[in-house]
Amino acid sequence: MQTQSDKLVVLVTKGIESELSSVAFTIANGGITAGLKVSVFLTSTGIDLVRKGGQRMTHVPPLDPLASLIENFQQRGGTIWACPPCVTSRGYTQEDLLDGIVIVGASAMHAEIKEGAATLSF
């Protein structure tokens, strides 16, 4: 039996080197506009998107600058999770990340999926 949910989880594995990071946050913001509760789970080089200053390195016209996309997402209630081993492997700590980033394992994402969240991966 399929459950319906107003939740969306966006898994982002691409970082500042890829235009897909901007696409992911554009779509995540669109989910909030559509009335969804949206969470983004960052892994691999996606962690660099929330390293203080990292997001200012990416702008993919005609999309908004990545820093603006992330700020807008957080201001509108979006949740950003960062994979603990991915944070640690880069030598980052909570203090290196933007305010509001939650370092948490995939179990947070899995809990949303078990409650029926739709998923997208970038």
Give pTM, 2 decimals.
0.92
Residue ranges per structural domain of the chain:
5-119
One-letter amino acid at 18 equals S
Residue from 44, 47, 69 nearest 56 by CA: 69
pLDDT tens digits, one per residue of 68-100: 999 999 999 999 999 999 999 999 999 999 999
Euclidean distance between CA atoms 33 and 20, whole angstroms: 20
Question: According to the model, what pLDDT value does residue 103 have?
Answer: 98
Residue 72: which H helix or E strand, with range?
A: helix 66-75
Mean pLDDT (the chain) is: 93
- Per-residue pLDDT, averaged over 29-34, amounts to 97
Question: According to the model, what pLDDT value does residue 16 have?
Answer: 87
Euclidean distance between CA atoms 105 and 92, whole angstroms: 16
Classify domain 5-119 at the CATH topology level.
Hypothetical Protein Ychn; Chain: A, (3.40.1260)
- Per-residue pLDDT, averaged over 29-55, amounts to 95
Instruction: Answer yes or no: is pLDDT of 1 > 60.
Output: no
Higher confidence at residue 3 or residue 69? 69
Looking up tokens 């994979």 gives 83
Instruction: Answer yes or no: is pLDDT of 56 > 90.
Output: no
Tell whether omega for the bond before 84 is within 30 degrees of 0, i.e. cis: no
Instruction: Answer yes or no: is pLDDT of 2 > 50.
Output: no
Instruction: Answer yes or no: is pLDDT of 4 > 80.
Output: no
Residue from 15, 19, 17 nearest 61 by CA: 19
